[in-house]
């Protein structure tokens, strides 16, 4: 199995936040790695985001798993949305119900975001805003 680790970082919230991204050769390898990490079986996933919170959610470790052949805008934006939400959720005061809304498990919100983003990017491509070699 070949997997490449990539670390991406943002200081948008003031302090640097890092996401570890693993890119696997196949989707089966990606799913198996995700299952080894926390035991969850995701047989239909084309990308995975897994987060490990501290006991009080003071910090979070985020891992995004991707696979060659599934690196399009929708999958990548969807998983990075989960990652950003997991990180952001640790910054929201507890009285704002961060426990139920600002986690990496918010599938409806992540799908809404990724589908809107994908459709916009597709349209921008169709209108010639991106060079063909960028596809």
SS3 68: coil
134/70: higher pLDDT: 70
DSSP-derived letter for residue 20 is: E
15/26: higher pLDDT: 26
**Rounded Cα–Cα distance for residues 20 and 90 (Å):** 17
Residue 51 predicted with pLDDT over 90: yes
**pLDDT value of residue 120:** 77
50/130: higher pLDDT: 50
Please report which confidence band the pLDDT of residue 86 belongs to, taking 50, 70 and 90 as the band edges: confident
| Total domains in the fold of the chain | 1
Cβ contact 104:85 at 8 Å: yes
| Phi-psi domain of 56 (left: phi exceeds 0; alpha: psi -120 through 50; beta: other) | alpha
DSSP-derived letter for residue 16 is: -
This prediction's pTM: 0.77
> Each residue of 89-133: pLDDT tens digit?
787 777 776 666 667 777 777 887 888 788 877 887 887 886 554
Structure tokens belonging to residue 12: 């948008």
Please report which confidence band the pLDDT of residue 29 belongs to, taking 50, 70 and 90 as the band edges: very high
**Rounded Cα–Cα distance for residues 79 and 35 (Å):** 16
Which range of residues forms the domain containing residue 15? 3-134
**pLDDT value of residue 132:** 52
Please report which confidence band the pLDDT of residue 135 belongs to, taking 50, 70 and 90 as the band edges: very low
Strand pairing of 17-24 and 60-67? parallel
SS3 133: helix
pLDDT, mean of residues 42-70: 89
Find where tokens 């501290």 sit: 54
| Nearest-5° Cα angle at 102, 119 to 41 | 75
Which helix (DSSP H) or strand (DSSP E) does residue 21 occupy? strand 17-24
Please report which confidence band the pLDDT of residue 50 belongs to, taking 50, 70 and 90 as the band edges: very high
């Amino acid at each position: 199995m070949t997997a490449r680790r990539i670390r991406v970082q943002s200081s948008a919230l003031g302090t640097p936040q890092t996401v570890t991204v693993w890119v696997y050769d196949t989707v089966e390898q990606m799913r198996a790695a995700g299952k080894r990490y926390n035991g969850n079986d995701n047989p239909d996933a084309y990308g995975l985001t897994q987060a490990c919170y501290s006991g009080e959610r003071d910090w979070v470790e985020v891992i995004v798993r991707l696979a060659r052949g599934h690196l399009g805008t929708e999958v990548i934006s969807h998983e990075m949305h989960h990652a950003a939400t997991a990180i952001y959720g640790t910054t929201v005061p507890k009285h704002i119900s961060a426990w139920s809304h600002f986690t990496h498990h918010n599938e409806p919100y992540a799908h809404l975001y990724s589908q809107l983003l994908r459709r916009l990017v597709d349209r921008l491509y169709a209108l010639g805003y991106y060079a063909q070699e960028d596809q």
